[in-house]
Amino acid sequence: MFKFRRFKKIRGLALGVIGLIIALTLSAIPAISQDSKPLRIGTEPTFPPFEMQDKNTGKLTGFDIELLEAIGEELKRPIEWVSLPFDGLIPALQSGSIDAAVSGMTITPERAQTLSFSRPYFKAGLAIAVQESNDSIKSFDDLKGKRIAVQIGTTGASTATAIEGTKVSQFDSAALALQELLNGKVDAVVNDAAVTLYAVKEAGLKGVKVVGEQITEEYYGIALPKNSPLVNDINNALSTLLENGKYEAIFQKWFAGKAPPLPAVAPGLQGETKSGFAWGDTFRRLIFYGVPWTLLLTSLSFLFGLLGGTAVAIALISPYKWLKVICRIYVDFFRGTPMLVQLFIIYFGLPALFKGIGLDFSLDRLPAAIIALSLNVAAYLAEIMRGGIESIDKGQWEACQSLGMNSVETMKEVIFPQAFRRMLPPLGNEFITLIKDTSLAAVIGFEELFRQGQLGVATTYKAFQIYIAVALVYLVLTTLASYFFKWLEKRMDPLKQAEARAKKAAFTTSNDRATVGSK
């Protein structure tokens, strides 16, 4: 009995010790996991030499990348990179989907209203790039009345739009803005000096030169969500790198000369800016500046696509095998490749190709967008029309032939009117889809409805409110289009039209009888 009691005491003591160890371990896990939790850093990987993909490994490299990796080592937290377009970095920070963003982002009072910034980590400035043959632009003052390409949401964009009489085209990346310059569609590009110089000297961009001195003095900072607890940690790590010489080593790897001194607080934060958000101004901008271009682009693209689709559909059911093969290749290509790629080929690729062989050829944004959308929608409409025509019973073709009608008369008078009524629902769907697909034209700088929303976000940093407004306007447009096609279906349905006429006749007859009875 004594041994049994002693065994119970020993077992109880052992269980208590084990429980204490487990409790201590569990209490330490949150701190350990928090310290080792990866930092999700957003970046736009098309901003060399700050962010870019290594040609050999495919991994991200650049000044910003190495600097943040060094900061992660100081904080003992690994870095998880998230690639985003530049104008998507601030919305991602506001939504909390990333912990910080680094992409050559200038510290400005406007951005500081919705974001927190680290201390400055790079001294930068804007520069002007022109074609090598251009001798008329040598300074900032020479940009008045010129065509300028910029990257959307950057200080270069805000600086260019403030110049009197300029026509500013805004693109999703600096590379597209420089390509616009190479294609001769703009007179200059206003962009960060370090990025432009790298493209000209290191990346071998030919036909472009940088003129004048830097037109601004700016400071880059690491952007974080407003009042993020990481601000102090990142500032302390950055200060350590500046003191121990690691920052200088990273700087000299990517840039010539010694790193300039950096202030603890960016001078730009000493300015004053307006705050607030006006729904009325947002909807007014979307409706009066965005909707007309969206409707014009949709209408013209659908019209040309309908004409082209009809021709291709007839060719696909024709007896000529060679014609059917050509049209089938066309349909498969435009249905099998992204419309975004087609837009890039037509707007950026073709002018570059023709210039390469010595031909001066370029397209403005509107005709380029119409051509790309029309060619794409024609491929889809061709299949809709082919299916509609082939759905008509072959006996009707034979009946028309027995009546002495040729193939054109048969198609025009008998087959197509019936097929068109069957095509209306899918045609309506394609029209509604096209309204939304016009937003892809934003990538070539065409300022339709969605682009107007992007421009609003780039200046107000109110992503959620503006994109909700954009979505509501698109919803109104697609709903109106849906009701229009439903009305058109009823108008072209002979049975429903006969029912409507019968009801109208019955109503008229009853009214006449009532009138006679009252007399």
Q: Are residues 302 and 399 in the same domain?
A: yes
Residue 135 lies in a domain: yes
* Tens digits of pLDDT across the chain (519 residues): 444 455 555 555 555 656 555 655 555 444 444 456 899 999 999 888 899 998 888 889 999 999 999 999 999 999 999 999 888 898 999 888 999 999 989 888 888 888 899 999 998 888 899 998 888 888 888 889 999 999 888 888 888 888 888 999 999 888 888 889 888 889 999 988 888 878 777 666 778 888 876 777 889 999 999 989 999 999 999 999 999 999 999 998 888 778 888 888 877 665 544 556 788 888 999 999 999 999 999 999 999 999 999 999 989 988 899 999 999 999 999 999 999 999 999 999 998 888 888 887 888 899 999 999 999 999 999 999 888 878 777 777 778 777 878 777 777 777 777 778 888 889 999 999 999 999 999 988 888 999 999 888 877 788 888 999 999 999 999 999 999 999 888 887 766 665 666 666 665 666 555 555 555
Q: Are residues 401 and 363 in the same domain?
A: yes
Residue 431's CB is within 10 A of a number of other CB atoms, namely 22
CATH number (domain holding residue 309): 1.10.3720.10
Q: What is the CA radius of gyration of the chain?
A: 32
Residue 17 lies in a domain: no
pLDDT at position 400 is: 79
Q: How many domains does one find in the chain?
A: 3
SS (H, E, C) 260-292: CCCCCCCHHHHCCCCCCCCHHHHHHHHHHHHHH
Q: Are residues 314 and 353 in the same domain?
A: yes
pLDDT at position 275 is: 54
Residue 361 lies in a domain: yes
In this structure, which long-range contacts are made by residues 417-425, counting pairs with CB atoms below 8 Å and at least 24 apart in sequence?
Answer: 418/392, 419/385, 419/388, 419/389, 419/391, 419/392, 420/388, 420/492, 421/489, 421/492, 421/493, 422/388, 422/391, 423/384, 423/385, 423/388, 424/485, 424/488, 424/489, 424/492, 425/485, 425/489
- Name the helix (H) or strand (E) containing 485: helix 463-491
Q: Are residues 195 and 228 in the same domain?
A: no
Residue 313 lies in a domain: yes
Q: Are residues 170 and 117 in the same domain?
A: no
Q: Are residues 204 and 323 in the same domain?
A: no
Residue 516 lies in a domain: no
Parent domain of 452: 279-503
Q: Are residues 91 and 133 in the same domain?
A: no
pLDDT at position 288 is: 93
Residue 3 lies in a domain: no
Q: Are residues 385 and 244 in the same domain?
A: no
Look-up: residue for tokens 């990796």? 69
Q: Are residues 452 and 472 in the same domain?
A: yes
Q: Is the peptide bond before 49 cis (omega within 30 degrees of 0)?
A: yes
Going by C-beta distance under 8 Å and a sequence separation of 6 or more, which residues neighbour residue 327? 312, 315, 316, 382
Going by C-beta distance under 8 Å and a sequence separation of 6 or more, which residues neighbour residue 115? 90, 93, 94, 223, 224, 225, 226, 461
Q: Are residues 394 and 487 in the same domain?
A: yes
- For residues 320 and 342, what is the distance between their CA atoms, to the nearest angstrom? 28
Residue 77 lies in a domain: yes
Q: pTM for this one?
A: 0.74
Residue 261 lies in a domain: no
pLDDT at position 236 is: 94
Q: Are residues 210 and 311 in the same domain?
A: no
CATH number (domain holding residue 95): 3.40.190.10
Q: Are residues 116 and 135 in the same domain?
A: no
Evaluate the CA torsion angle 113, 118, 120, 125 in order and state its sign: negative
